[in-house]
Amino acid sequence: MDSGAYLASQLAKGFARSLQQRAARLGFSPGQFPVLLELWAEDGLTQKQLLARVDIEQATMANTLARMARDGLIDRRPHPSDKRAQLIFLTDKARGMEDDAIEAAREADLALFQGFKSFERELTLEYIRRLLDNAKKL
């Protein structure tokens, strides 16, 4: 099928499968990876801040964070000025896997672009960025 949306969906599933194999060895799932990336960049965010940055549904974020807490990847602490909010912090376990997790994602990305020349990869990424910009306007 030549639908861009369908092909993008298949591409995302293929990348997730590739990352899943690598991530399982490290103790996280592909769905947790965007949250980990955000917290590695800035630890101590609220769930609301993570929602805005990762752009997933509230229920999905709540389930992801619950699994991450269960797996020992995050700790929740009370917000100092907002009694309704909690701050999400990485555990030592999650901080310790940053380099290996980023390498796992890089390996999955390299596998995805196997057989591409450097300029083809860059051009494809530029097209994907443009598609994402268009998708944000929908």
* Interatomic CA distance for residues 87 and 80, integer angstroms: 9
Amino acid residing at 84: R
Domain assignments of the chain as residue spans, ordered by start: 1-27+98-138, 29-96
**The predicted structure's pLDDT at residue 1:** 65
Fold exhibited by the domain 29-96? Arc Repressor Mutant, subunit A (1.10.10)
Task: Identify the residue whose tokens are 């494809």.
Answer: 124
pTM of the model: 0.83
- Altogether, the residues listed in the chain come to a count of 138
Among the listed residues 107, 114, 130, 137, the one whose alpha carbon sits nearest the alpha carbon of residue 8: 130
pLDDT digits (tens, 9 = 90+) for 78-129: 999 998 999 999 999 999 999 999 998 898 889 889 999 999 999 999 999 9
Would you state the pLDDT for residue 45?
A: 96
pLDDT tens digits, residue range 40-67? 999 999 999 999 999 889 999 999 999 9
Rounded CA-CA distance 122/9 in Å is: 20
User: 88: Cβ–Cβ under 8 A, 6 or more apart, which residues?
Assistant: 39, 44, 45, 46, 47, 50, 65, 74, 75, 76
